Amino acid sequence: MRLGTRASQLALVQAHAVADALGGDVEIVEITTAGDRGIAGDKARWIDTIEDALERGSIDLAVHSAKDVPAQSLLRPGMALAAVLAREDARDALVGAASLDDLPPGARVGTASLRRRAQLLAVRDDLEVVDLRGNVDTRLRKLHEGRCDAAVLAAAGLRRLGLEAEIGALLDPTVFVPAPGQGALAVEGREIPAALVDDVADAALRAERHVVEALDATCDTPVGVHHDGVALHAFVGLPDGSAWLRDSVVGPDAAALIVERLESMGARDLLARATAIAEATS
């Protein structure tokens, strides 16, 4: 069995976890994506060459961070996607400070995520949110070099890399609603071994992705969706935090209902405004 993955330290840790779950003779194939080469674009840049390898048959399965996978309609024809293994902590982590309240006015908080930017400014509009890019180790190095006073990263990545000690605080996921799929691993291929699929993680991932796809959200729109096992939470906002919506729904039809409620509250208008802002500043 050949598993394709990006070559970052975190991606390799994740691929080895899937390989261990598969058992037997598993080869991990490292693949450089357009995103790794610094090419801008949508989420597809993180999986493009990996999907090429799937189509060619040079790998059998691909391992992704689920939050990096674009909408189902954008996956290659014939490819299936499933959440695998138990989900790691989906929350965002504040690094460099014990809480947001501990940061003084004007403190610089680093992130490359529009969602995190919008949520930070919705809560603390006196902060300066600065662009912080790179793999986890690169972002931590930049933080420790003083390029920002604090940073927001995914708790899951820090924990998988053994860097939990870097976490100053875990942010409330009903306020700082995580990205769809955050903390979950996804396997893509023509056929996913049933033994790999965690039913709880898979159901949550599908609910989260349904909301994003139903709202036609993109990388240029600050959107968070997270199912915590009880309720489905969602956030839609503008990058500057000046306008936003949050909602939570419980029940078997939570994904469809939360889309309906968000639309009734004006989510599509917010998304259109967010897209226009992104296009104007790109």
If we measure between CA atoms, which residue out of 151, 139, 211, 148 comes closest to residue 179?
Answer: 211
| Tokens (6 digits) for 45 | 């840049």
Tally of residues, the chain: 282
Q: Is residue 226 within 8 Å of residue 182, measured between CB atoms?
A: yes
Sign of CA dihedral 161, 70, 123, 139: positive
Q: Is residue 110 within 8 Å of residue 134, measured between CB atoms?
A: no
Q: What are phi and psi of 2, to 5 degrees?
A: -110, 120
Q: Is residue 259 within 8 Å of residue 211, measured between CB atoms?
A: yes
Point out the residues that are catalytic.
Answer: 68
Torsion of the alpha carbons at 139, 175, 161 and 200, rounded to the nearest 10: -140
| Tokens (6 digits) for 142 | 């930049």
Q: b/e per residue, 90-124, with b = 16+ CB within 10 A?
A: bbbbbbbbeebeebeeebbbbbebbbbbbbbbbbb
Tell how strand 185-189 and strand 61-65 pair up: antiparallel
Q: Is residue 150 within 8 Å of residue 76, measured between CB atoms?
A: no
- CA separation (Å) from 15 to 20, 95, 181? 9, 25, 16
